[in-house]
């Protein structure tokens, strides 16, 4: 049984801490770059508003009404067929799977904090070879930092909801925002800021195809932490009579603003210092360090605080990826928090090692199937199948299974006129969108 409760601010910061992660600062800028800028940003903002926001409200609602771990919440709330609906709660597994590569990437970030202190690459080529050396040859370095991430995350989870998760978010989230806003203010004084602004907000529709829509929906889910019960598990610890709409609004607003701020700042730096924005995941690990080098001493300083902020963003998201399964074992099997945290931690730590190996020369050949290595497979299966499926299940569960009268009695007073459009979006728009995304990501359409 849950007894710990978040404070009001604690919940918003923890949920925002979950949402604001590597997705906002590492992934959003590079997929914006890959998909041509402004037009993609507009599609992304629309999907966040129309689909992400609706599911956010639905996911908070399930947790708030169920008050338990994800599996039990589905079971308690389903009026009939409880034994089938409870499987909806196993979406929490997706979080553990995501952690397999998430923790490895946090390890890279730790490594970059350390190398920012000692030396920065002087050219993009050098930066590229440093990154690819780390990825393909430095097994022990990656293992060391991945293990550090494991210890940190497990430690915080073991401290519990208030003493661990809430406390960490209360410190790290403000710190993260201060760092990003500070660097962003500096970026606004540079000449290239208007160029970055134009790139991100002036749509060139010729650069958009149906693939961009799919990427946008998938990313809206990932960045808002939807579809695997993270937000649901946190919401089970909301005070009674909490305003679901307000909470959802703040989380979506914080997450979206931080993505936009990070994007504008990074593109300003890239344009100002003449680096070709490298397409793909290397943006933050390759182009950016070379740009920081160009800035001189200030760049060194920026590099350190930037990677610290990125690590903070990653760590606050990580605890939310693991907490649903920790809570599951505590509620259903009466495990102690210590046992649950260590077991779940060991799971992603061990498979994380396989993920590291799957990039290392000499091992990668045996850890790849069908053109993707283990690392990429985990990313693909979670993002393409598990999260949209989790979202689909939640939309149907709240839209059709929980009796409308119950949903209405909680949300109508908060949503007022917007209740009907929200309910409609949940019942029809969202499931259709999810379905299209899944079909296209697995290559059927």
3-state secondary structure of 369: strand
φ, ψ dihedrals at 366, nearest 5°? -85, -5
Question: How many residues are listed for the chain in this entry?
Answer: 445
Nearer to ligand TRP, 26 or 271 (CB): 26
Q: Which of 176, 196, 321, 392 binds ligand TRP (CB under 6 A)?
A: 321
Beta-carbon count within 10 A of 71 CB: 24
Cβ atoms of residues 382 and 97 within 8 Å = yes
Cβ atoms of residues 309 and 25 within 8 Å = yes
Nearer to ligand TRP, 96 or 357 (CB): 96
Nearer to ligand TRP, 39 or 321 (CB): 321
The tokens 């089970």 sit on which residue? 236
Binding mask 377-396 for ligand TRP (x = CB under 6 A): ----------x---------
Binding mask 263-302 for ligand TRP (x = CB under 6 A): ----------------------------------------
Q: How far is the CB of 303 from ligand TRP (least distance, A)?
A: 21
Q: Which alpha helices (H) appear in 273-296, and where do they start and end? A: 282, 288-294
Q: How far is the CB of 300 from ligand TRP (least distance, A)?
A: 26
**Interface positions, 352-371, toward ligand TRP (CB under 6 A):** none
**Contact residues for 364 (Cβ-Cβ < 8 A; gap 6+):** 136, 357, 358, 373
Nearer to ligand TRP, 92 or 299 (CB): 92
**Interface positions, 98-157, toward ligand TRP (CB under 6 A):** 98
**Interface positions, 188-247, toward ligand TRP (CB under 6 A):** 222-223, 225, 227-228, 230
Backbone region of residue 36 per phi and psi (left: phi > 0; alpha: psi in -120 to 50; beta: other values) = left
Greatest distance between any 2 Cα atoms in the chain: 65
**Contact residues for 263 (Cβ-Cβ < 8 A; gap 6+):** 28, 29, 32, 41, 196, 200
Measured CA to CA, the distance from residue 357 to residue 285 in angstroms comes to 19
Nearer to ligand TRP, 116 or 317 (CB): 317
Question: Of 152-160, 266-274, 316-324, 347-355, which part binds ligand TRP (CB under 6 A)?
Answer: 316-324
The tokens 């077991």 sit on which residue? 343
Q: By CB under 6 A, is residue 320 in contact with ligand TRP?
A: yes
Q: How far is the CB of 232 from ligand TRP (least distance, A)?
A: 10
Nearer to ligand TRP, 165 or 321 (CB): 321
Q: How far is the CB of 277 from ligand TRP (least distance, A)?
A: 20
Question: Of 21-29, 82-90, 110-118, 352-360, which part binds ligand TRP (CB under 6 A)?
Answer: 21-29
Q: Which of 19, 65, 77, 437 binds ligand TRP (CB under 6 A)?
A: 19
Q: How far is the CB of 227 from ligand TRP (least distance, A)?
A: 6
**Contact residues for 175 (Cβ-Cβ < 8 A; gap 6+):** 309, 312
Q: How far is the CB of 80 from ligand TRP (least distance, A)?
A: 28
Nearer to ligand TRP, 98 or 402 (CB): 98
Nearer to ligand TRP, 24 or 247 (CB): 24
Cβ atoms of residues 344 and 96 within 8 Å = yes
3-state secondary structure of 368: strand
Nearer to ligand TRP, 14 or 264 (CB): 14
DSSP 246-299: HHHHHHHHHHHHHHHHHHHHHHHHHHHTT-----STHIIIIIHHHHHHHTTHHH
φ, ψ dihedrals at 81, nearest 5°? 50, 40
Number of residues engaging ligand TRP in binding (CB under 6 A):
18
**Contact residues for 86 (Cβ-Cβ < 8 A; gap 6+):** 71, 72, 74, 75, 78
Measured CA angle at 344 (ends 340, 350), to 5 deg: 145
Binding mask 61-100 for ligand TRP (x = CB under 6 A): ----------------------------------x--x--
Question: Of 17-25, 106-114, 118-126, 134-142, which part binds ligand TRP (CB under 6 A)?
Answer: 17-25
Q: How far is the CB of 229 from ligand TRP (least distance, A)?
A: 8
Rounding to the nearest 10 degrees, give the CA dihedral for residues 278, 281, 284, 288: -20
Residues that bind ligand TRP (CB under 6 A): 18-19, 21-24, 95, 98, 222-223, 225, 227-228, 230, 317, 320-321, 387
């Amino acid at each position: 049984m849950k007894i710990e409760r978040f404070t009001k601010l604690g919940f918003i910061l923890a949920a925002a801490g979950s949402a604001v992660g590597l997705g906002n600062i590492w992934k959003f800028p590079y997929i914006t770059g890959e998909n041509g800028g402004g037009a993609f940003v507009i599609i992304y903002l629309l999907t966040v508003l129309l689909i992400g926001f609706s599911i956010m409200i639905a996911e908070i609602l399930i947790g708030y009404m169920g008050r338990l771990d994800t599996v039990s919440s589905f079971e308690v709330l389903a009026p009939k067929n409880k034994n089938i609906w409870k499987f909806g709660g196993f979406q929490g597994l997706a979080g553990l799977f995501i952690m397999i590569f998430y923790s490895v990437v946090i390890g890279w970030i730790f490594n970059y904090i350390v190398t920012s202190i000692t030396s920065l690459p002087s050219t993009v080529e050098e930066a590229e070879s440093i990154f690819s050396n780390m990825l393909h040859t430095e097994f022990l370095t990656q293992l060391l930092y991945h293990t550090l991430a494991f210890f940190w995350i497990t430690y915080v989870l073991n401290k519990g909801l208030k003493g661990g998760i809430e406390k960490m978010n209360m410190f790290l989230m403000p710190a993260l925002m201060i760092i990003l806003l500070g660097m962003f203010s500096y970026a606004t004084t540079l000449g290239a800021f208007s160029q970055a602004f134009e790139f991100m907000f002036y749509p060139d529709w010729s650069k958009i195809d149906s693939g961009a829509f799919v990427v946008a929906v998938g990313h809206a889910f990932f960045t808002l932490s939807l579809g695997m019960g993270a937000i649901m598990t946190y919401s089970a610890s909301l005070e009674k009579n909490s305003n679901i709409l307000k909470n959802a609004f703040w989380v979506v607003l914080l997450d979206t603003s931080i993505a936009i701020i990070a994007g504008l700042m990074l593109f300003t730096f890239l344009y100002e210092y003449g680096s070709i924005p490298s397409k793909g995941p290397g943006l933050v690990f390759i182009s950016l360090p070379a740009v920081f080098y160009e800035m001189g001493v200030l760049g060194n300083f920026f590099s350190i605080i930037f990677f610290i902020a990125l690590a903070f963003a990653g760590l606050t998201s990580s605890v939310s990826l693991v907490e649903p399964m920790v809570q599951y074992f505590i509620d259903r099997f009466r495990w102690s928090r210590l046992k649950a945290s260590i077991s779940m931690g060991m799971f992603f730590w061990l498979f994380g090692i396989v993920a590291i190996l799957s990039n290392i020369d000499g091992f990668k050949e045996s850890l790849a199937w069908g053109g993707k290595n283990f690392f990429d497979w985990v990313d693909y299966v979670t993002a393409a199948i598990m999260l949209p499926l989790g979202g689909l299940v939640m939309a149907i569960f709240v839209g059709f299974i929980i009796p409308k009268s119950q949903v209405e009695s909680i949300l109508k007073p908060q949503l007022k006129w917007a209740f009907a459009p929200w309910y409609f979006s949940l019942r029809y728009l969202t499931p259709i969108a999810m379905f299209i995304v899944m079909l296209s990501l697995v290559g059927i359409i």
